[in-house]
Amino acid sequence: MDDTKNRITKLCSRLSKGVVILSVLFSVVIVYAIAGLVAINVKPSTLNLVISSLKEPHFVDYYDFVFDKDMSNKGIAIEALVAIIVHYMLYVVILFRIRKLLRMIGRDTTPFTKKAAKEFRRLAIAFLIIEIIFDIVIALFAFTVLMLMSAIFDYGAYIQEKADETNRIQEEMIVSFAEITENKSTQTGNHVKRVSEYSRIIAEQMGLPESECERIRLASTMHDLGKLLIPVEILEKPGRLTDEEFATIKKHSSYGGELLDQVEGDIMQLARQIALDHHERPDGRGYPSSKTCDEISIEGRIVAVADVYDALTSKRSYKEAWKPEIAYDEIVKNSGTQFDSRVVDAFKAAYPKIEETRVLYADGIKALSFKPA
């Protein structure tokens, strides 16, 4: 969708510039015709010069029915020039409306709207009314093109509505899954909320498109979905895990991928990828697939940093919360090994926002903030 939006924005920008150029050209014709009116009244001998110069560039082929008359007649000449002025002024008005429409489409987050389709229909009817008196072929051609654009935008709006509805359903499912996951363990608190917000902040810092950042925020809430299949006694064990218990915990990544494998929707599939990748490491020592570097999705690499930072700064049954400055140093220290270096750079740059978020969504206690030097 972002690619489509970018293409539409670029196309609208180019068309808008073309409309401005046409408006300037038509305005020149209007000014010249007005000057011709003045010249005729000041010096009637300039009549033939004005008429011939207007006919020369073929701007006024539509007015042959006027110009074929006796152009020595001052009244007929004035009638011709007034017709030119009115006609091209109407053109300019329509062009300004087209430019306004193009700019609206280019700025809108969802370019295909019923409002745009309706405006194309209005322009089609306006152009038909203005032009049909002068050239029926051009009038019908422009009318057909504008009505076709209206139909395209109507259909696009319909598709967009369906996509929005699908996204809404996905978001509701994600929220439900996140709540179920969070309620599985009484000690996680706002972990899911914090990780999702950290992930969005890091993604924004990395320059990802706004819509992609929002998708990551939503999808990351299900990064620990697989823990639904992990026994509670292991999740909440107060002491150190045995090797067997830790091996069981590590299965939550693949469990999450399996749970989301058959769920349709781009956000749900992104959530599946994050569930699988958020414990992978660039050095290949992660799980469940021991991926390295770019084999790990960028979303998984982002959530990995967000998840570990929050886990370190949160109290668990088996540990106390780390001080934020120590957790920060741990993330930075493992850049390029446990964590993607580009993601860590973004984490460092966006750290003030991350700390604000950590304090805002703290687990029922007043959290102490840390600002690195």
Instruction: Locate the domains of the chain by residue range.
Output: 1-111, 112-165, 185-360
**Residue 138 is which amino acid?**
I
What is the fold, at CATH topology level, of the domain defined by 185-360?
A: Hypothetical protein af1432 (1.10.3210)
Residue 359 corresponds to which amino acid? V
Structure tokens at 88: 């091209």
State the DSSP string of 110-168.
S---HHHHHHHHHHHHHHHHHHTTT-HHHHHHHHHHHHHHHHHHHHHHHHHHHHHHHHH
Is residue 316 within 8 A of residue 171, CB to CB? The reply is no
Residue type, 320: E
The pLDDT score that the predictor gives to residue 367 is 45
Q: How far apart are the first and last CA of the chain?
A: 40
DSSP string for residues in 174-239: HHHHHHHHHHHSTT-TTHHHHHHHHHHHHHHHTT--HHHHHHHHHHHTTTTGGGGGS-HHHHT-SS
Q: What pLDDT, on the 0 to 100 scale, is given for residue 331?
A: 97
Q: Is residue 196 within 8 Å of 221, Cβ to Cβ?
A: yes
Q: At how many degrees (to 10) do helices 74-107 and 2-42 cross? A: 160
Q: Cα–Cα distance between 272 and 256 in angstroms, integer? A: 7
User: Could you state, in chain order, the average pLDDT of each consecutive group of 10 residues for the chain (373 residues)?
Assistant: 66 81 82 73 56 49 45 64 78 85 77 84 85 75 86 84 76 71 61 92 95 91 88 83 91 92 84 95 95 95 96 86 95 96 97 94 60 54
- From the CB of residue 18, how many other CB atoms can be counted at a distance below 10 Å? 14
Residues comprising the chain, all counted: 373
Q: Please count the other Cβ atoms lying within 10 Å of the Cβ belonging to residue 61.
A: 11
Peptide bond before 288: cis, by omega within 30 degrees of 0? yes
How do the residues of the chain divide into helix, strand and coil, expressed in percent and rounded to 5? 75, 0, 25
Say if residues 171 and 180 touch (Cβ distance below 8 Å): no
Instruction: Look at residue 242 and give its three-state secondary structure.
Output: coil
**Which pLDDT does position 98 carry in this prediction?**
85
The DSSP letter of residue 44 is G
Return the number of other C-beta atoms located less than 10 Å from residue 96's C-beta. 13
Q: Give me 289's structure tokens.
A: 């697939």
- Give the pLDDT score at 312: 94
> What is the C-alpha R_g of the chain?
33
Neighbours of 113 (CB within 10 A): 18
Q: What are phi and psi of 292, to 5 degrees?
A: -130, 150
The conformation of residue 273, written as its DSSP 8-state character, comes to H
Structure tokens at 135: 């050239």
